Amino acid sequence: MVSKKRYFGTDGIRGKVGVPPITAEFMLKLGWAIGKVFSGEGKKMVLVGKDTRISGYMFESALEAGLTAAGVDTRLIGPMPTPGIAYLTRTLRAQAGIVISASHNPYYDNGIKLFSTEGVKLKDEVEYKIEAFLDNPMTTVDSVHLGKARRIVDAAGRYIEFCKGTISPGVDFKGMRIVVDCAHGATYHIAPHVFSEVGAEVMTLGDVPDGININDKCGATAPQNLSAKVLEYRADFGIALDGDGDRLIMVDHTGAVVDGDELLFIIARSRYEQKQLKGPVVGTLMTNLGMEHALADLGIDFIRSNVGDRYVMEMLSAHGGMLGGEGSGHIICLDKTTTGDGIVAALQVLEEIRRTGKTLHELKQGMEKYPQTLINVKLSGPIDLNVNATIQEKKKAVEAQLGEHGRVLLRASGTEPLVRVMVEGKDARIVGESASALANTVKEALSA
């Protein structure tokens, strides 16, 4: 049996700043460990980028020092969306790319994500190698072999041009009036340029980061302000990105939120209609059942992975797919890039709006979202949900009541001490009542 990783989770390492392992001391050692794994023969190069949270300065310096001590050259990118680091790692032929970010979390959290030279998340075996070096004493190579560090000053421009290149030649978005919320995060100096340079009239929110306002009542995790601004400015639609730019949520001209499931459906249907879709569409255990049914009506295969864009990517690779994503807004378009990218995904939706002449509101009508209720039950101790007879009996009763037009999901959170109870179906009242009853059964089982 493979032992559990001590630091790496489903999406890198993440936690509260100042609480191990998210400390300057650990990041110094981590930079050294990454350097040792990727040094190989001769001096190698690793990119380091970050989002806009204040602790990024501290961790950037610590990682640089550790990489230098391991004899690896560092290329400092500064604030850059996570998918931008993936793109630059690949095109600059770096051995690895490090992103200092806690994604959609508040400013007092931080962490790291790692990309391979191909611009994809690291394989498990590489993360195990890094953790193994963390157990060793830190050493420094001879001075003549120390790594060197310098900043790449044209990183933003490179990534902006890449994003623009993901739409079809000759397509522009002149006449579109849009609002873009950058969440005071890593896209603040990228996204407005991308959308304006392809012809749209852009009004920008969340583009004044101060180190602590990242994701604060803005961006993909809080699109309410964007909805109000779309109505106020009479915009055609709004685009909300998260702090590190790998999530996308949109708002139509009525102010209604269009989530990741709906956006993935719009892109998948577009590729299908243009005979460009390859393989199945991949969602997760949390993907709305309405999308699965809408894709089935078109004759498009759909499969589910575990929750997390890492698992979506693994499933796409295993089944030869090109499109996948999550309701939270992680959307992967492998025909355009190597990882989830909020800006690139938005451009695909804009191109479909232009191609069809339909509004975002009209495009999302092809999918009926089923009511879904999610209740988090705090874990007070270990429990195996799959073998607890009381919980399984109640789960089966709820599933029988919902029939083929409903679904129940019970799972332990991978990042918090919680059991997630999710019920969805066509009748919102039954869904809500069933979720509450099942959650109460889980609470009672835990207290027993």
HEC profile for the chain?
CCCCCCCCECCEEEEECCCCCCCHHHHHHHHHHHHHHHHCCCCCEEEEEECCCCCHHHHHHHHHHHHHHCCCEEEEEEECCHHHHHHHHHHCCCCEEEEECCCCCCCCEEEEEEEECCCCECCHHHHHHHHHHHCCCCCCCCHHHCCCEEECCCHHHHHHHHHHCCCCCCCCCCCCEEEEECCCCCCCCCHHHHHHHCCCEEEEECCCCCCCCCCCCCHHHCCHHHHHHHHHHCCCEEEEECCCCCEEEEEECCCCEECHHHHHHHHHHHHHHCCCCCCCEEEECCCCHHHHHHHHHHCCCEEEECCCHHHHHHHHHHHCCCEEECCCCEEEECCCCCCCCHHHHHHHHHHHHHHHCCCHHHHHHHCCCCCEEEEEEECCCCCCCCCCHHHHHHHHHHHHHHHHHEEEEEEECCCCCEEEEEEEECCHHHHHHHHHHHHHHHHHHHHC
Sign of the CA dihedral running 377, 382, 385, 390:
negative
Lookup: tokens for 210: 């101060």
Which residue in the list 103, 116, 227, 328 is annotated as catalytic? 103
Lookup: tokens for 34: 């990454």
Sign of the CA dihedral running 259, 422, 313, 282:
negative
Whether 39 is a known active-site residue: answer no
Q: Would you please indicate which residues are annotated as catalytic (active-site) residues?
A: 103
